[in-house]
Amino acid sequence: MIYIVQIGDSFDEIVRNIGGTKGAELGVYIVTGPDFSGDVPGDMIQGTSRTKIGVAAVRILANGEADLPNAVEAQKGFHLMPLSAYLRDGLAHKAADPRPQMRLFESDAPEGIRYFDELGDAMTKRLPASADSQDFLVSSFKQIGLSVGGGFQWKSLDESTKKGLERAIKTGEEIVDSKWAATGEITNGWKYTFAGGRAGYDPGLRAALAKYEVGAQLSDQVIYPNTSVDDKGEPLNGSKRYVLHFDVGKLPPVSVFWNMAMYGSDMLFVENEFKRYSIGSTTDGLNKDADGSLTILIQKNKPADTANWLPAPEGDFNLTMRFYGPETTVLDGSYRLPAVRSVE
C-alpha cells in the first residue's frame, strides 16, 4: 500500500513527510512545537514545528474503486494522539469525543483594518511568545501595534497610522498576486510551481502559495500544474468542448500515479450527476486510442462513451494535474503537458 503522511505548520510549510516516494517508513513519530524542551522519549522520530498549531494529513493510494476497502483498512493503521496518551496507553488509547473545531475569531476592529486584528489573533494562538523578541520580522510589527503577546492593539493607533494600514492591505494583496505570477513557469497554458511546502523565510512567496496552492507538497513528492486556458489562450468554459491528448509514450512520467481534477471558479470540485471529479491513471476503464495514445474528453454534455470523460460545469473552470512521484524529466523541465485543445 502506497501512502504519504504530510505534517505541516501554520506557515503551510512541510514539517515532515512519512512515506511517499521514500516508501514505507513504519515507526513512532513525534511532532514538537516551538516551546518544546527536553528529550524525545525512546527511539521516536522527531519533527519540529515552528508554530503551535499545525496540520496532519494522510493520503493512501486506492488503485480504482475495487481497492477502496483496502485503503480504508490501511487507514486504520495510522494513529494520531497526544504524547502523554501514547506513553500511558500506547496504541490502545481511545480518543474521547472529537475536539471542537477552533472558533472563528470575531473582530471588533474597524472594517478597514480588520485584517490586522485577525492576523494578531492568529499570531497569538500560533507563534511562540519568544517571536516578539527573537524573530526580526515579528518584532518589527510592534511599530503598528501588532505582537504575539498582545495581538493587534488598534485602539492605541492614531488615525494616520490606521489609514496607512488600510492602504497597506490593498498593496499587500497586490504584492502577493505579483509574487504568484512570477513563481514557476507557464508552458502550453499549464502553470508549474516547485516551491510548495518550502517557501522558507520569503513571506511574499509563503502568502502566495497559501492563497493559490494551500497544502501543497514538496515537488519531489507531488507537482500540481494548473491551467484555466485552452491552446488559444482563451478561458476554459463549459459552453465549449475540449480534449487533452497524450501521444504514445507521452503520458505523465510518474512513479506512483497521475490524475487531473476539475475545479469551478470557486476552486471547489464541480458537482455532477456522473460523480466523477478527476480522471487519471487509476480511473477504472480508461480507454486508449487505437494507436496507443490517450485522449481525455472535457465537456459539460455527457458523451456516448463516458470512459474518458471529465464532466465540466456550465461556466468557467480550471484544471489541476497531479503528478504523484514526478520523475526527473518533470522536475528538470524535459517533460511538459500538452495544451488543452478546444474542438468543434
For the stretch 134-173, pLDDT in tens is 999 999 999 999 999 999 999 999 999 999 999 999 999 9
Average pLDDT over residues 317-329: 97
User: Model's pTM, two decimal places?
Assistant: 0.89
Indicate whether 80 pLDDT > 90: yes
Instruction: List Cα–Cα distances, 139 to 151, 202, 257, in angstroms.
Output: 12, 16, 44
The CA distance from 248 to 243, in Å, is: 16
Same domain, residue pair 119 and 75? no
Within 8 A by CB and 6+ apart from 81, the residues are 93, 95
- Final residue belonging to a domain, choices 92, 123, 157: 92
List the grid coordinates of 241: 468542448
Domain contains 240: yes
Domain contains 129: yes
List the grid coordinates of 289: 486510442
Indicate whether 202 pLDDT > 90: no
Same domain, residue pair 193 and 316? yes
Indicate whether 192 pLDDT > 90: yes
Q: So what's the pLDDT on residue 246? A: 98
Q: So what's the pLDDT on residue 101? A: 79
Domain contains 101: no
Query: What is the domain count for the chain?
Result: 3
pLDDT bin (cut points 50, 70, 90) of residue 216 is: very high
What is the residue range of 196's domain?
185-343
Same domain, residue pair 131 and 197? no
Domain contains 98: no
pLDDT per residue as tens digits for the range 44-65:
999 999 999 999 999 999 988 8
Q: What is the mean pLDDT of the chain?
A: 94
Same domain, residue pair 237 and 330? yes
Q: So what's the pLDDT on residue 258? A: 97
What is the CATH classification number for the domain harbouring 239? 2.60.120.600
Strands 146-147 and 185-187: unpaired
Q: So what's the pLDDT on residue 267? A: 84
- Contact in structure between 284 and 65 (CB atoms under 8 Å): yes
Residue among 151, 163, 158 nearest 113 (CA): 163
The distance of Cα 153 from the centroid of its chain, to the nearest Å, equals 32
Average pLDDT over residues 33-53: 93
Average pLDDT over residues 241-251: 97
Handedness of CA 263, 265, 267, 271 (dihedral sign): negative
Q: So what's the pLDDT on residue 95? A: 83
- Final residue belonging to a domain, choices 30, 58, 92: 92
Same domain, residue pair 170 and 221? no
